[in-house]
Chains A and B, each alone.
Chain A
């Protein structure tokens, strides 16, 4: 199984994502530079890592979403490639139009870093099948722009289609409907602000993130 982590200038959770993927798959993922125009052959799961790509200049994720590699990932995702974005990766996916909505500045305008309780809304998805629906997990958050916004129609559709996979128990950033993580219509592209890759080792304070990687990797 080939997986890949994309490295943008000032990605900073690229190594963390790679460690998580290796822990679950036993195989080191490929690290793909943002200027590449095509994913290496055979890659079946891509992680857009957290960080501050391009220093968050312009808008978080905006410049990275125009990278050559993102165009290739986007077109392959339309044909079923599994893609997950965590934190800055989620911001890049919304900026690239691969997920609906936008991530705005946190409601209190401050960066927030803390372990956050999340509710797993459904176990009927490629990313959450190893969780129990309505169970609670703890993932750390660490972001300045995590305030999920979408218009009413989009929110209604997300809710109606059960595409909100994770919701905050104690909303840290003002996200509408307490949304922490969503999938696209086909269920193959997933984004969340919290960091599952920071919850895979007892020394992190918890291992709730492992099931997420197990879930998606099992389906590819």
Chain B
């Protein structure tokens, strides 16, 4: 057979981010050469971002099942049961690459995308969270990125009217060339009205709803699957532009239609737009799909099939509608002034067929696109274990006032008020204790009820870098601890696994180690992973980010009369420290901020102790034995005590060992620990019950006065310290640089 001249050169294949081997597979599965549309579709579906080709086999190890799990990974978001017929639907997702290139739109569309994942499943979004990592504060790009990302998150969430209730922000030089923007959304649905993406039936109409399709974001998924170099700014056209107004209309319209029986299946158009949404729906339902691209609402004239299929224009949904309900769907979407069109139908061919201008422009089998996507077992090596540093071998500061001040004004500890005051935290009026931040977990009431969800995000990348396995355990344990601190039963997590280039064995080693550690903690707490995403290739010119498996945890507070925060401490309360203190300073904030070192093994996580201690603290909260609770993490006891003092507006006096290891006692970061403010008459019962349970508990000070004191160490007026802690970020953002 005479072959016509090839349309697809090796260069075109390479430009699509496909390897020669991957292209060979395409030729094999198709039995012919693909046309350009088909190649584009394969390239995005097989991108790291969409196919998880480097991570799939490792993600499969996660605990994903549990008593409260309604839907684990594999759908748009995870679904958990919170009793009374209510379900919580949640997920966290990265928008790292676009946010670095265009911070406002990158962050904004990250928020929009994660919200769509949640309301696609029938949930009204009730809370947003985020986990942000920026480069060192003095880096020339950092201020601009912070400013743009925060404005973008606020600009989107505030407009849509979903409160941004918490998050975390870190600065480290390891993120100078690749910032991380991880956004999480939590939604509320009825457990019997959850929507899924599997298309069903033959000949059922496929509807397109939302914004028109433009030329923005083409190959965004491919960009997110490659490293950056010096010319990354040229990728700006691959960043999408968000329209929160349309998103808000889309939420209301979809939720309105979901009250009827018109929707068979629904999927948002996220990464790889119309391509991945249609293929995922067809693949999950085991059907074929035929689309007529002439009917796709288009923002600009003369768009090609290739552009339409790969556009990542925002605020678009695809759905399979019950035959006979077409008019109902049109009416609802037109009421909300959204573009809506019937663009195709389900078929029994198992193929994706696209028509454009009366020509068939794509005809490929769906199974290889999704299920047969490459699945690599990339080589991975374990990092060399780091030496354990003992407090007694580390320099003890001679000026504790200065050390405390340095730590409380360090980038990772300083107040992030400048950021969170730009987020509407109160809209929907169910955010509990919403006026101030600094707590361990956000609390959001289930509307019209007396129960609430607690939500937190956490990760300590310096621990993961020092020891991926222990660090992975710690990320999960800290979210579990945060939820416990407010009195919630931790239920499940979502994760956002941000790493460098998986083709390098040392990066893959970090990835595999972190997952194994995380999974161990999930099992120990019966705390499954129900959703998440993986972001690899966070590298610039070969320099990878610190491994950052961000974890978002969700828990349930069954009775809002019984919760705690760090703000309730009262003059005269006794401070009790729960958990064992060895004075672990390896990989600590003290080490980096006071001794300017970042070495040493991170604190080990004793999961049994975590469980025992946490269950006890939760019980004390439920029995109303405590006025305030805070977990010990970055900066150890001293920082926890300061934060409790700030939140409660009253001073603290700590009294501890008088030997040479005060630095370890005050700033050590041993895990599984909590600081409790307890009224005098509860002290003995709290201590004796702990003893009976084999839990380490000791009195470490009192709540009183207006100073932050520790015997023989520091003594600073609370307001001086607070002012300095509050001033750091505003000063950074207003300063000239």
Residues of A within 8 A of B (CB): 9-10, 12-13, 15-16, 19, 50-52, 54-57, 110-115, 140, 142, 144, 195, 197-198, 200-201, 203-205
A140–B426 CB distance below 8 A: yes
Contacts A12-B160, A140-B435; A203 near B427 (Cβ below 8 A): no
Query: In the assembled complex, how far is the CB of residue A203 from the closest CB belonging to chain B, in whole angstroms?
Result: 5
Known: A54-B245, A142-B158. A15 touches B428 (CB 8 A): yes
Identify the 7 closest CB pairs spanning chains A and B, nearest first: A12-B161, A55-B245, A52-B159, A142-B424, A10-B248, A205-B435, A115-B435
**A16/B421 in contact, CB under 8 A:** no
State whether A9 and B161 are in contact (beta carbons under 8 Å apart), knowing that A110-B422, A204-B429 are contacts in the complex: no
Cα–Cα, bound, A157→B246 (Å): 40
Contact of A204 among B154, B249, B422, B426 (CB under 8 A): B426
Q: Is B622 an interface residue (CB 8 A)?
A: no
Alpha-carbon distance A201/B433, docked complex (angstroms) = 11
Is chain A's interface secondary structure helix, strand, loop, or mixed overall? Answer: mixed
A10 touches B245 (CB 8 A): yes
Given contacts A50-B427, A55-B243, A198-B427, 13 further A-B contacts (CB under 8 A): A15-B428, A19-B429, A52-B159, A52-B245, A54-B245, A55-B246, A111-B423, A113-B420, A113-B425, A113-B426, A142-B424, A195-B426, A203-B560
Q: Which residue of B lies closest to A140 (CB)?
A: B426
A113 lies within 8 A of B424 (CB): yes
Q: Which of A12, A50, A115, A204 contacts B248 (CB 8 A)?
A: A12
| CB–CB A114/B433 < 8 A | no
Asked if A203 and B433 sit within 8 Å, CB to CB, the answer is yes
Residues of A within 8 A of B159 (CB): 10, 12, 52, 55-56
Distance between Cα atoms of A57 and B337 in the complex (Å): 15
Q: Among the listed A9, A115, A195, A200, which residue makes an inter-chain contact with B245, where contact means beta carbons less than 8 Å apart?
A: A9
Supposing A51-B161, A140-B426, A195-B426 touch, asked if A205 and B434 sit within 8 A by C-beta, the answer is yes
Indicate if B344 sits at the interface (CB-CB under 8 A): no
Give the contacts of B129-167 with A (CB-CB under 8 A).
Answer: 151, 154-155, 158-161
Interface size class of B (residues with CB under 8 A): 20 to 34
CA distance A25 to B689 in the complex (A): 48
In the complex, what distance in Å separates the CA atom of A112 from the CA atom of B421?
A: 6
Q: Which residues of A contact B432 (CB under 8 A)?
A: 203
Complex-state Cα separation, A39 to B422, whole angstroms:
35
The reply to whether the CB of B214 lies closer than 8 angstroms to some CB of chain A is no
Q: Once bound together, how far apart are the Cα atoms of A214 and B11, in whole Å?
A: 72
A201 and B429 in contact, given A9-B245, A52-B245, A111-B154 (Cβ under 8 angstroms): yes
Minimum Cβ distance to chain B for residue A102 (Å)? 20
Quick check: A52 and B337 within 8 Å, CB to CB?
Answer: no
Assess whether B434 is in contact with A142, with CB atoms less than 8 Å apart: no
Are B428 and A16 neighbours in the complex by a CB distance under 8 Å? Answer: yes
Report chain B residues within 8 Å CB of A112.
Answer: 421-422
**Distance from A112 Cβ to chain B, minimum over Cβ atoms (Å):** 6
| Chain B residues closer than 8 Å to A142, beta-carbon distance | 158, 424-427
Whether A9 contacts B336 in the complex (CB less than 8 A), given A52-B248, A54-B245, comes out as: yes
Q: Is the CB of B422 within 8 A of A198?
A: no
CA distance A52 to B151 in the complex (A): 16
Scoring B residues 159 to 203 as 1 if CB is less than 8 Å from chain A, else 0, what string do you get?
111000000000000000000000000000000000000000000
- Give chain A residues whose Cβ lies under 8 Å from the Cβ of B158: 52, 111, 113, 142, 144
Q: Report Cα–Cα, A140/B426, bound state, in Å.
A: 8
Option from A15, A55, A197, A204 in Cβ contact (under 8 Å) with B434: A204
**With known contacts A112-B422, A113-B421, A16–B427 Cβ distance under 8 A:** yes
B244 in contact (CB, < 8 A): yes
CB contact between B249 and one of A10, A197, A198 (< 8 Å): that residue: A10
- What are the residues of chain B within 8 A of A201 when measuring CB–CB? 429
In angstroms, Cα B61 to Cα A50, docked, is 46
**Docked complex Cα distance between A24 and B605 (Å):** 51
The CA of A120 and the CA of B159, in the complex, are separated in Å by 29
- Most chain A beta carbons < 10 A, residue from B159, B249, B422: B159
Residues of B within 8 A of A114 (CB): 421, 435
Q: Which residue of B151, B246, B423, B429 is within 8 Å of A113 (Cβ)?
A: B423
